[in-house]
Structure formats: C-alpha cells, structure tokens
Amino acid sequence: MTMLFEAIASWHASSFATRSSDEAWDVVAALPGMVVRLLGTLDDGYGIEGGIAVHRTAEVEGGATLKGPLIVGPNCRVAAGSLLRGGCWLDGGCVVGPGTEVKSTIMFRGSRLAHFNFVGDSILGQDVNLEAGAIIANYRNELRDPHLRLTYRGELIEAPVLKFGALVGDGCRIGANAVVAPGAILAAGTVVPRLGLIDQRPPS
C-alpha cells in the first residue's frame, strides 16, 4: 500500500520515508521516536529545549502549549490556545491556528489549520488547508471493533491499528466544520465541502 504516499510529492525525499514497507499508520505510530531522532540532526537555526525545537524564524504566540517531542520549522506560526502533542513535525511555513489541537502528525510545507481544528495521527501533504472547525478524527469510539478498515480505489485495506486519522494529499481543501472520519486517504487536490463528511470505512 505504499502507493498511498503518491498523494504527497515530497514524501520519498523526506526523513520519514525510512522503510519502503511502512504504511501511513505505521509512520504515525512511530512518529514520536522519529521526531526524537530528528532533533539530533537540526542545525543552529533552531532553539531546542526539553525535546522541543522551534526554528528562530517561527512565531509561537503566548498561550500555545507545546509538548515534545516536537519540531516547528522555519516561518511557521503557532497561535495562542493551540496544543501540539504526541510527536509532531511541522515543515516550513505551516500554520496552527487558535484553539487547534494537533496530535502525532506530520505537516508538510505550507499546510494551514485555520482555527478550532483537531488533527490526530495524520500526515498532511504540502499546501493543505483546513477551514475553521474542520476535524480529522483518529479513533472510532462508536464501534465494537475500531481497528483500521477502509476502502481506497476499490481496494479494501485492513490493519491491526486502533488510531489513525488520515493521509491528506497535497493541495487538499477541507471546508469549515467538515469531518474526516478515522482511516481516510485523500488524493491530492481533494475538496471536502463545508459540513461535509469523508468516511471510507466499508459497511460491516
């Protein structure tokens, strides 16, 4: 299923494409350890303290909560009231808006979370935009068996994984108050309308 990463043009040149057998859900599960290792490779453009690296050109507003391991890249903006936790990596020019929570997530260059978003256990490609209130959920608490099952391009994909949000391809647009249900793959350029629902889990 490594074809899933075709939705993100810069994936194979990134530090996260370490094993060709890794799937998106394997990557996010291993993300805290991967971010810890990347902390040791950063140059002096970063200030590093307590497992948290923030590039000196990034802006972190007062009232933001940062929990390591975490890397915030050049020219990012992390707004007041946001929470980053569980092992996150932000490429250059990313925005995490007010009241937004990001957990165990990779954000590639120029991706933006407007405000009051939740993004959990996910991989966002370049130039992804979530409008206000849009959610990428990471766990199916309504099911007796919440393990990963999804249909992508007509193929059923299953994995013994409890928490996975989405792989969101380059240039996707997710409208205000939309929900991406756990275990989704969005092709590059996908547009999710405001109040929309993306749920790729087949009926049981």
Say which CATH number the domain at 182 has. Answer: 2.160.10.10
Residue 55 bears catalytic tag: no
Q: Could you tell me if residue 187 is inside a domain? A: yes
| Helix ranges, 51-178 (H) | none
Out of 12, 55, 115, 147, pick the active-site residue.
115
Nearest-5° Cα angle at 177, 7 to 99: 95
What integer is the mean pLDDT of 61-71? 98
| Helix ranges, 8-86 (H) | 24-39
Q: Which domain holds residue 13?
A: 2-198
74-119 confidence digits (pLDDT tens): 999 999 999 999 999 999 999 999 999 999 999 999 999 999 999 9
Closest Cα to residue 181, out of 132, 127, 141? 141
16-29 confidence digits (pLDDT tens): 987 666 899 999 99
Q: Could you tell me if residue 204 is inside a domain? A: no
Q: Could you tell me if residue 80 is inside a domain? A: yes
What type of residue sits at position 99? Answer: G
Q: Could you tell me if residue 138 is inside a domain? A: yes
Q: Could you tell me if residue 93 is inside a domain? A: yes
Q: Could you tell me if residue 143 is inside a domain? A: yes
Given a cut of 70, whether residue 166 has pLDDT beyond it is yes
Per the structure, the count of domains in the chain is: 1
What gap in Å lies between CA 185 and CA 167, rounded to an integer? 5
Q: Could you tell me if residue 203 is inside a domain? A: no
1-55 confidence digits (pLDDT tens): 457 899 999 999 999 987 666 899 999 999 999 999 999 999 999 999 999 999 9
